[in-house]
Amino acid sequence: MALIVCPDCQKQISDTASACVNCGRQMREPHTRYTEKMSKIQYDLTFVWIVVLALILLGGGGVWLYHYLAEN
């Protein structure tokens, strides 16, 4: 673990620190990968549920149409 100088307040901080402990400046990008992954998973699950619902509705409509045509 090495020390680096904060560009804003010129204090020495750890090179592994995500923010300066003195002034609070972000030293690296905050971790957003988890939230990005969750957003993608939620989008994918929504898409899957829409497809499943559409297939159920189309399947039910097809069965109804088959029975309707068979009776007439």
Is pLDDT at 35 greater than 80 in this prediction?
A: no
Report the predicted TM-score, pTM, of the whole model to 2 decimal places.
0.40
Residue 40 CA to residue 36 CA, distance in Å, equals: 6
H or E stretch covering 14: strand 12-14
Tell me, yes or no, whether 6 and 37 share the same domain.
no
Residue 25's nearest CA partner among 2, 46, 49, 8 is 8
Residue that the structure tokens 């750890």 belong to = 14
Which structural domain range is residue 65 located in? 32-72
Residue 36 CA to residue 42 CA, distance in Å, equals: 10
Tell me, yes or no, whether 10 and 38 share the same domain.
no
Average pLDDT value over all residues in the chain: 84
Quote the distance between the C-alpha of residue 33 and its chain's center.
8
Is pLDDT at 30 greater than 70 in this prediction?
A: no
Is pLDDT at 37 greater than 90 in this prediction?
A: no
Look at residue 10 in the predicted model and tell me its pLDDT: 94
Structure tokens at 16: 């592994």
Average pLDDT over residues 25-42: 75
Look at residue 60 in the predicted model and tell me its pLDDT: 81
Tell me, yes or no, whether 23 and 43 share the same domain.
no
